[in-house]
Structure 1
């Protein structure tokens, strides 16, 4: 080798030895003869050793020949035998083998292997074998012997007695590599020995070698073949360390490979056999690992442990094998439970019945072992796992995914029910209940025991609640088939325990079940024992508990409320016995309250509920059947009638009356008193009912109510609890007691009641509306009792501060008092002034709405007519001053409205006589709309003007037929019209028609209108106003057309004349017609009867304006204005429009009668007669009047022969009585009657049907108000107002209980109020016109509209 290739030698050898090495080099692949000499046996041992070291260096870089290698071995092999030289020999040949491996022949390799085998396991032998076999990759020359060497080494390093062999890891890794590359040369027996030794070591001792051993087994499995004889050993070994955290994953990988191999099913079989023979397995870890392998391989869904798809093993097979293994220890049980959990997680919804059976067996075995074995440290964990699995199975059962036996499952749950969670106990309870067959005998007894068992106090609240719900469920499900048995054998025995139940929540639920049963149980009377009463007896026993303990009240309100609900919901079906029993238990409970002194806030809610229920019971007067006043309408009970009279009923109000009287006497809590007083108002309207309690008891009740007012200071309310007693406020008792007193005065003419009602008027500074309305009714019912208190009442009203809240009640009271002479018969002027003080503030259009102003205006007019004539002038001035003063305090410019109006009229005086104009107030109306303040000022001025005019006339003239003209033929010559101070004066000149021979000297009219000269049309009377419905238009009666007898103010003549002055003797007639806002007056004046001596001397006779002379009689202030003669037809039309507006408030009101059972419109309108009492009521409403003279639009014959009319000081009411109108066979729907009644805004309904009337029963868009009149007894009527909500806001009295005569009077008053409210509302909301105050103001507006087109008279 060239020297350059050996340049690294100096780094190995010291410099002084470099020259010695050179002699080793000879030719390529050999060494020198000197080197051979030094290596030979002839040289000394030190020389040979030195030479060996030099040779070791040379072979690393020099390639030797095969023969040279062999020669070197033979030359130096004796050194191996020498202890001093053996190491050097081995190192040299290890290096030579490593670097000259390719130059070793087969013989030499075999020689080296034999030498290595003889050396045993040492560092050098191991290193030499690794070099010789290239780390186990190449075993050429000793293929069939190398495994024996490695087995010997393996046994040595894995020997249990050897503590930590230093070559163990290297040997195991060498064997791994050798088997990996040379498995074909390894026999089964050798593999068998390897597996046996490795498994033995793993099983006996787990240390740092365990991992390498596992890798060796894995390599054997992958590159070799596991002998069948060692398969169980391998499985056992792997299972023993499967659950070790350090080696478990590796062991599972091996097991997974084993299971995925062709050994898979055989391995599973062996594992399951191992589990079955668990008694022979000394190590629990093996069983645990085996179970782990089974469930991981078959059922695992984890990412790293996916189950093996090619394995086919039914869960029932694997689970059954685990059963015997569970007795080995808690670890096995735990792993079994994990296996079950994985199975349920992976395939729980798809398991078959056999699998479920095995699972439940395992769980049952686990529970049994937990009870029997002494596994104290593990028992809680195992029990927890078992119960968790049971919960999982229960969830699957509830979801419908459980295919096993429910009985087995719930039997298992029942065996450990004390440890199960509440939902599981409830599920077991549900299952046991569902298993009961209602068609088997004794099922109710079993169910009762089951429910009572779960209702015991030792069970959780949720379980007890479930038991209560089962009561309800079973009843609702089966009561149609087994009602009696369920109630008597099941429900009642269980629910009786609710009385002694300590848990308020459970008691509450049991009570709910009780009342649900009571609301649905049958009420058949044919049964031997009444089921309803059986159920109610439980409630009765609860209400009868001693109230001295506070705990009783916790659910007492529920019981009382439940009984009241039953009374309300089942009232229509109750029998007498049922109703009496409910009333009795409620009254007894109330008595118990008062016996224990509960008169304040304690138990007040219970008393409120009970009194509300008891006092909702009334009877229907027409049928005498008992009625429940429900929230959504009255409910009748056809089986129960009141006692007494000609009825067959036996219901008496005595027991209720007694407890009500006691409550009024002793109760201090005002909310309870309020409920009683509110409910009593309607009950006392039924005399026949309340007097079934006995006259003495009712009198005691009346006295108790009076005493209640006197002790009102002792009453307390919620507000009083928050303040000290020194600051205690007074309750608003008058608000509730006065309406009751207004009913009681129909039975008792007690002056003390009247005194209380008057005192209550000013009970609070703002006034009491209910007291005012009660006084209103008292004045009408008991005038003699109210007369002594009249002046006090008026003084109280005058002392109240005017307000919108009190306006309507005060005005109604004042108006109604004016119609009772007894009330004001002892009034002095100051009392009348009090009346003015009361009403005048409400005439302010700036403070109050139009209805209040109109109502106050009408009330003032009524009162003025009742005042003595001697004081009218004083009162007139006082009224005007009060109204103007009130107006002045509101808006200063109101008092100047009159001057503003006069100036407006003065400005009209300058209007040219040739100016064209249109009548009406359209332009003026638009101006008022744009200026609301001006509208109010105008309205105030109009109201004051109308009132002044009324007080000047003191009355309103009713419309009468015009006076006939003289019995002669007259010809109109001219007609002029003037307006003076809102009065229209018409002066018309007529001449008598001369004989036919004088036609040459008399102006004649040759036009076609001659015939109209003598045939004069009569004015259409006031009442002939156009109807609101097209079907209701009537032509005027022919009786008002009077040929040759013209009316006094005939303004319809339209004949034109061509005059020619002839001095002929004629007789002239002057007709003067005066139209003002409260009527019309007319006179005749004849100018000349005989020829005078100087006839014809005056040339200008015909030029004298007689009208001016007459006009001066009326116009002392010279402010008269003449209406321009432009379009005569327009003037006449305007005058007729004024005459159409009645000076009286004219109303048409429908009256219908409803017989028993009638509900349809055609049935009601088809009645042609009513009851005798109805006929008597009609006569009380008004006076009969023939239809020949009726102003209500009724035609004689077609609409009957007469009707009823009522006229008072300022109004007239015409009644359209349906029963007085004939019924035509051609009109079955009675549209002829509906034409009148359906178009009336207000109707009176006399209701004998026994059912409440509903507004709109008689359809029509104009039906705004219906006044229902219902006979309550033989002497009293109940008047109820049904109206649209927009009208109801303006009516104070909406319900009244009065004797017949007073009821009729009140109905007339309600008609006027309702009609006024409708007129006001329609004008503002529908017609959008000027505010409606009354027809007199409408006439005033029409007159002023006409005056807009007049011009001032120049004197």
Structure 2
């Protein structure tokens, strides 16, 4: 045996002669395989000469079996004679590089893997092996894409054919295109899910894995432009591929590039954009974040942050939801997330500015991701935010209120006095008003303290998840405000509540009103106080349906009127109060109607008194220069009195039933011992001016039930403890005394 081996070692020339004596291609292929078996296990000389002869089988005209035999010989030489290959190693590499028959790609890949030892040894080929692998990568990926497209075209053709058959059989006219789209989508999903259906996919994965190994073990051998080229092509493939395995391999290369090499500045943009897309895939989210985290720990950190911000601020990306969502996630997680990168030097304001710009695109997936990041920022770093950062935060929150407002319009809360809960009951309830199906609980009003604990459920729609995330943020801010521990500017939080006013809970609405009162926003000390008061009346009285809020607004209006009537009655009464109370006769809420009527009486008495004073001043002979002004003021006062009396008359003429709790005692003596009287003594100062007279009011009242009563709870708006104000027709006022000479008066019997 040893003698035979020694003979083989010295008789490489004989093997060469035997190969040359073979005639046909099949005989030469068989002889090549026999030589390969010897070369794999024994030392053989004259390998260069043998390869020169065998390489003729790689000609384009050679049969497939002959070409495969030549590659088998090459592989045998690499595996059995690697230490003694010498210049033959370069010959093998040149043959692999120049060979262009795509049918033998798998053999070429196998031979190259063996030649460079799975990427560990590229000595002699450092300048060209990368380019060759990239060329192979592009070729294989293009073939894979064409195969996938053909598969998709066949599916679409089948769907179209089935759709035409269905239509010809009498199916719905609108179902054909929908079915075609659905089948095309499902076909694409099937192609993406089954990588084995594409015959070129395994080869592509092998080449990509080999390129990753080459870069990993020989990073220092490549110039910056070559590394950038590697990254650009791999990222392009990752963005276009239909196969999850390809995404995994591309991410493997990107991980190697950032850990063992570096990411050149010219390739940084595509590198970051690809990671932003991949992080949206559940199976690759953790891997993508790990790669990005390593990138943000490198010298490229600042550039990567700027690229993430630029992605969100570029209008051209407005429709690329995965790209935007990934950028938001990376910015938030690296800046203030659970795995924050401590070495980053950018401020929160830079990230918030970019996120605020992304909100203008109105993409629900992106907005939800931003809300999650805002909630995390508020919980972890709310007390550390600067004033400018809080301004950005509230700008974003105001922008997101449109989700709550749109949801309130499509599913409005049902308010009524009968369903309004007490403060204690509302505090005990976990959610005040919720909407949804299948056990999902979605806020329709904003906000209560219990909403901080809202969590997303498996069956939640994206809109519901957005509403819950938004409610958690506003609830946390409101709790801090109520504890007087709100870290940001209070007026910005109030502005958010103002925008949410159509869908505020009772608690939040009262909180907003109390803020206005505490800031004296309804008094002349504040700029635009009349406009603010008018807006509050419109929002919290006219458009509001909950009794407690309307009564609170009425109480504030009375306080403002009492405090400012001496100087501003001519502005408040005609412009605000009379329009506010004009529809009191149509009011269906008993408590609100009674309080509004008392306010009307108060205004009427004041206007009547003022009217008499003006008339007396006119009779006293004022200066000529003041005559016109006095007459103008007197006319205005008279008009206010007339409008007030008309409103009271309309209230008397209404036929609304009154609750038993508001009835006057049958004995004729009020429990309080005092009765507020504003009976028919409306006349003397007003009868001559065309305003409603007591007889007119009595006639309006008599058209209704025989007895009509108006009363309010004890200690009403007039401030008399235990006193009850009543406004009744003459027939049911046994204890009231008419003081005709005093005009409209409030008389306590």
Normalized against structure 2, the TM-score is what? Answer: 0.58
Aligned residues: 536
Q: CA deviation at 1:94?
A: 0.9
Q: What residue number does 2:299 align with?
A: 262
Q: CA deviation at 1:183?
A: 1.7
Alignment of 1:608-619 (within 5 A): none
Q: What residue number does 2:327 align with?
A: 290
Matched, 1:358 2:392: yes
Alignment of 1:522-541 (within 5 A): none
Q: What residue number does 2:96 align with?
A: 116
Q: What residue number does 1:771 align with?
A: none
Matched residue SS, 2:142: coil
In the TM superposition, what whole-angstrom CA distance separates every residue of 1:633-684 from its partner, at most 9, and x where no partner exists? Answer: xxxxxxxxxxxxxxxxxxxxxxxxx99xxxxxxxxxxxxxxxxxxxxxxxxx
Unaligned segments of structure 2, at least 5 residues: 148-197, 411-460, 603-612, 614-643, 682-700, 715-733, 736-749
Matched, 1:465 2:548: yes
Q: Residue 312 of structure 2 is aligned with which of 256, 269, 275?
A: 275
Q: What residue number does 1:901 align with?
A: none
Q: Residue 6 of structure 2 is aligned with which of 15, 22, 27?
A: 27
Matched residue SS, 1:116: helix
For residues 508 and 306 of structure 2, what CA distance do their matches in structure 1 show? 37
Matched, 1:221 2:258: yes
Q: What residue number does 2:140 align with?
A: 157
Q: Residue 311 of structure 1 is aligned with which of 319, 344, 347?
A: 344
**Would the aligned equivalents of 1:319 and 1:358 in 2 still touch at CA under 8 Å?**
yes
Do the aligned partners of residues 505 and 101 (structure 1) sit closer, same or farther apart at CA in structure 2, a change above 3 Å counting? farther
Matched residue SS, 2:9: coil
Q: What residue number does 2:453 align with?
A: none
**Would the aligned equivalents of 1:353 and 1:404 in 2 still touch at CA under 8 Å?**
yes
For residues 415 and 39 of structure 1, what CA distance do their matches in structure 2 show? 93
**Would the aligned equivalents of 1:275 and 1:324 in 2 still touch at CA under 8 Å?**
yes
Name whichever of 437-446 and 232-241 sits farther off: 437-446
Q: Residue 115 of structure 2 is aligned with which of 132, 142, 145?
A: 132
**Would the aligned equivalents of 1:319 and 1:359 in 2 still touch at CA under 8 Å?**
yes
Q: CA deviation at 1:196?
A: 1.5
**Would the aligned equivalents of 1:101 and 1:132 in 2 still touch at CA under 8 Å?**
no
Alignment of 1:1136-1151 (within 5 A): none
| Greater Rg by CA | 1
Q: CA deviation at 1:219?
A: 1.4
Alignment of 1:856-1005 (within 5 A): none
Q: CA deviation at 1:170?
A: 0.9
Matched residue SS, 1:25: helix
Q: What residue number does 1:39 align with?
A: 18
Matched, 1:97 2:78: yes
Q: CA deviation at 1:549?
A: 7.2
In the TM superposition, what whole-angstrom CA distance separates every residue of 1:1149-1177 from its partner, at most 9, and x where no partner exists? Answer: xxxxxxxxxxxxxxxxxxxxxxxxxxxxx
Name whichever of 482-491 and 111-120 sits farther off: 482-491
For residues 397 and 108 of structure 2, what CA distance do their matches in structure 1 show? 59
For residues 319 and 586 of structure 2, what CA distance do their matches in structure 1 show? 61
Name whichever of 353-362 and 549-558 sits farther off: 549-558
Matched, 1:343 2:370: no
Q: CA deviation at 1:69?
A: 4.2
Q: What residue number does 1:185 align with?
A: 221
Q: CA deviation at 1:27?
A: 1.7
For residues 415 and 244 of structure 1, what CA distance do their matches in structure 2 show? 36
Q: CA deviation at 1:144?
A: 3.5
Do the aligned partners of residues 156 and 555 (structure 1) sit closer, same or farther apart at CA in structure 2, a change above 3 Å counting? same
Do the aligned partners of residues 459 and 280 (structure 1) sit closer, same or farther apart at CA in structure 2, a change above 3 Å counting? closer
For residues 321 and 246 of structure 1, what CA distance do their matches in structure 2 show? 27
Q: What residue number does 1:107 align with?
A: 87
Matched residue SS, 1:317: helix
In the TM superposition, what whole-angstrom CA distance separates every residue of 1:451-478 from its partner, at most 9, and x where no partner exists? Answer: 64356464131xx413423555798999
Matched, 1:202 2:288: no
Matched residue SS, 2:294: helix
In the TM superposition, what whole-angstrom CA distance separates every residue of 1:1025-1046 from its partner, at most 9, and x where no partner exists? Answer: xxxxxxxxxxxxxxxxxxxxxx
Q: What residue number does 2:728 align with?
A: none
Do the aligned partners of residues 503 and 101 (structure 1) sit closer, same or farther apart at CA in structure 2, a change above 3 Å counting? farther
For residues 554 and 483 of structure 1, what CA distance do their matches in structure 2 show? 35
Q: Residue 64 of structure 1 is aligned with which of 43, 50, 57?
A: 43
Q: What residue number does 1:55 align with?
A: 35
Unaligned segments of structure 1, at least 5 residues: 3-23, 518-527, 529-537, 568-577, 586-591, 611-657, 660-1355
Greater fraction of residues in helix: 2
Greater fraction of residues in strand: 1
Do the aligned partners of residues 86 and 562 (structure 1) sit closer, same or farther apart at CA in structure 2, a change above 3 Å counting? farther
Q: CA deviation at 1:171?
A: 0.6
For residues 355 and 379 of structure 1, what CA distance do their matches in structure 2 show? 27
Matched residue SS, 1:27: helix
For residues 525 and 676 of structure 2, what CA distance do their matches in structure 1 show? 39
**Would the aligned equivalents of 1:241 and 1:248 in 2 still touch at CA under 8 Å?**
yes
Q: What residue number does 1:622 align with?
A: none
For residues 302 and 401 of structure 2, what CA distance do their matches in structure 1 show? 32
For residues 124 and 14 of structure 2, what CA distance do their matches in structure 1 show? 30
Do the aligned partners of residues 316 and 141 (structure 1) sit closer, same or farther apart at CA in structure 2, a change above 3 Å counting? closer
In the TM superposition, what whole-angstrom CA distance separates every residue of 1:813-862 from its partner, at most 9, and x where no partner exists? Answer: xxxxxxxxxxxxxxxxxxxxxxxxxxxxxxxxxxxxxxxxxxxxxxxxxx
For residues 596 and 404 of structure 2, what CA distance do their matches in structure 1 show? 39
For residues 549 and 57 of structure 1, what CA distance do their matches in structure 2 show? 113
**Would the aligned equivalents of 1:109 and 1:132 in 2 still touch at CA under 8 Å?**
yes
**Would the aligned equivalents of 2:309 and 2:354 in 1 still touch at CA under 8 Å?**
yes
Alignment of 1:436-835 (within 5 A): 436=520, 438=523, 440=525, 449=534, 452-454=537-539, 456=541, 458-461=543-546, 464-469=547-552, 501-504=587-590, 506=592, 551-557=657-663, 564=670, 566-567=672-673
**Would the aligned equivalents of 2:296 and 2:302 in 1 still touch at CA under 8 Å?**
yes
Name whichever of 29-38 and 401-410 sits farther off: 29-38
In the TM superposition, what whole-angstrom CA distance separates every residue of 1:591-638 from its partner, at most 9, and x where no partner exists? Answer: x9xxx999xxxx9xx9xx99xxxxxxxxxxxxxxxxxxxxxxxxxxxx
For residues 529 and 71 of structure 2, what CA distance do their matches in structure 1 show? 100
**Would the aligned equivalents of 1:426 and 1:466 in 2 still touch at CA under 8 Å?**
yes
Q: CA deviation at 1:172?
A: 0.6
**Would the aligned equivalents of 2:585 and 2:654 in 1 still touch at CA under 8 Å?**
no
In the TM superposition, what whole-angstrom CA distance separates every residue of 1:721-776 from its partner, at most 9, and x where no partner exists? Answer: xxxxxxxxxxxxxxxxxxxxxxxxxxxxxxxxxxxxxxxxxxxxxxxxxxxxxxxx
For residues 463 and 360 of structure 2, what CA distance do their matches in structure 1 show? 13
For residues 665 and 492 of structure 2, what CA distance do their matches in structure 1 show? 43
Q: CA deviation at 1:215?
A: 1.8
Q: CA deviation at 1:267?
A: 0.7
Do the aligned partners of residues 79 and 249 (structure 1) sit closer, same or farther apart at CA in structure 2, a change above 3 Å counting? same
Matched residue SS, 1:147: helix
Matched residue SS, 2:6: coil
Matched, 1:212 2:249: yes
Q: What residue number does 2:482 align with?
A: 398
Q: CA deviation at 1:324?
A: 3.8
Matched, 1:321 2:354: yes
Q: CA deviation at 1:162?
A: 4.5
Q: Residue 175 of structure 1 is aligned with which of 211, 214, 217?
A: 211
**Would the aligned equivalents of 2:405 and 2:500 in 1 still touch at CA under 8 Å?**
no
Do the aligned partners of residues 319 and 559 (structure 1) sit closer, same or farther apart at CA in structure 2, a change above 3 Å counting? farther
**Would the aligned equivalents of 1:238 and 1:289 in 2 still touch at CA under 8 Å?**
yes
Q: CA deviation at 1:175?
A: 1.0
Matched residue SS, 1:436: coil
Q: CA deviation at 1:231?
A: 0.7
**Would the aligned equivalents of 1:183 and 1:223 in 2 still touch at CA under 8 Å?**
yes
Q: CA deviation at 1:138?
A: 2.3
